[in-house]
Amino acid sequence: MALTTLDQNTALVLIDLQNGIVAMPTQPYGADEVVANGVALAEAFRAKGLPVVLVRVTFAADGSDALRGRTEAPRPGGALPEGWDVIIDRLAGHDGDIRVTKRNWGAFYGTDLDLQLRRRGVTQIVLGGVATSIGVESTARAAHEHGYHVTLATDAMADLDGEAHRNSVERIFPRLGETGTTEEVLTLLAKTHG
């Protein structure tokens, strides 16, 4: 883990911390720990006047905007419970936060996330959320491809599969940016944004 700096215009981007997602069992951290770390980061970013982006995933009830294409793994089916796509209460309710709705894995494709960040002069993002190997990794890859500096708060994210989380953290994320714990991000934030 080697965090070096946070740019003056850094945003926090939290992926899919919503009712239906955080209700699932996650590894290696439970959803409660991921949420607590995400909340700590969001409070610190807000206190410094830095953007907080809350990303949620949702689909039309009839599935008309769901992902297409052939896959070997079956896609979840059936009706989703009411409110599954609502950002959790512990993060919601802050008028200054940016809200992004996605309909696929990553938060950049098909959304206005890049526009929202660029309008604010953001050059770096700190990422967390669920699931590490899906929504977080897809967003990290796109952020890197869009030219953002990427920092990944590895204990503010979890996966449905512990091995998938480990693969992302150990093999993929070091090629996309820098990794560190929530505490390391908070310490660096206090140092660079005194």
- The answer to whether 193 and 51 are in contact (CB under 8 A) is no
Query: 59: pLDDT confidence band, cut at 50, 70 and 90?
Result: confident
Looking at residue 193, its amino acid is H
3-state class of 178 per DSSP?
A: strand
CB-neighbour burial class of residue 119 (10 A; exposed 0-12, middle 13-18, buried 19+): exposed
With respect to residue 78, please indicate whether it lies within any of the assigned structural domains.
Answer: no
Q: What is the mean pLDDT of residues 82-100?
A: 95
What share of the chain in percent tops pLDDT 70?
94
With respect to residue 79, please indicate whether it lies within any of the assigned structural domains.
Answer: no
CATH code of the domain containing 137? 3.40.50.850
With respect to residue 162, please indicate whether it lies within any of the assigned structural domains.
Answer: yes
* Whether the predicted pLDDT of 21 surpasses 70: yes
With respect to residue 104, please indicate whether it lies within any of the assigned structural domains.
Answer: yes
Q: Closest by alpha carbon to 136, among 144, 80, 118, 68? A: 144
Domain extent for 127: 10-60+85-193
* Whether the predicted pLDDT of 61 surpasses 90: no
* Whether the predicted pLDDT of 77 surpasses 70: no
* Whether the predicted pLDDT of 75 surpasses 80: no
Number of domains in the chain: 1
Max CA separation in the chain (angstroms) = 50
With respect to residue 71, please indicate whether it lies within any of the assigned structural domains.
Answer: no
* Lowest-confidence region among 10-24, 64-78, 85-99: 64-78
Query: Among the residues of 27-126, which ranges form H helices?
Result: 31-47, 113-119
pLDDT of residue 70: 73
With respect to residue 173, please indicate whether it lies within any of the assigned structural domains.
Answer: yes
pLDDT digits (tens, 9 = 90+) for 141-189: 999 999 999 999 999 999 999 999 999 999 999 999 999 999 999 999 9
CB-neighbour burial class of residue 2 (10 A; exposed 0-12, middle 13-18, buried 19+): exposed
With respect to residue 103, please indicate whether it lies within any of the assigned structural domains.
Answer: yes
Q: Closest by alpha carbon to 169, among 191, 186, 150, 145? A: 150
Q: What is the mean pLDDT of residues 33-56?
A: 98
pLDDT digits (tens, 9 = 90+) for 92-128: 999 999 999 999 999 999 999 999 999 999 999 999 9
With respect to residue 95, please indicate whether it lies within any of the assigned structural domains.
Answer: yes
Q: What is the mean pLDDT of residues 45-50?
A: 98
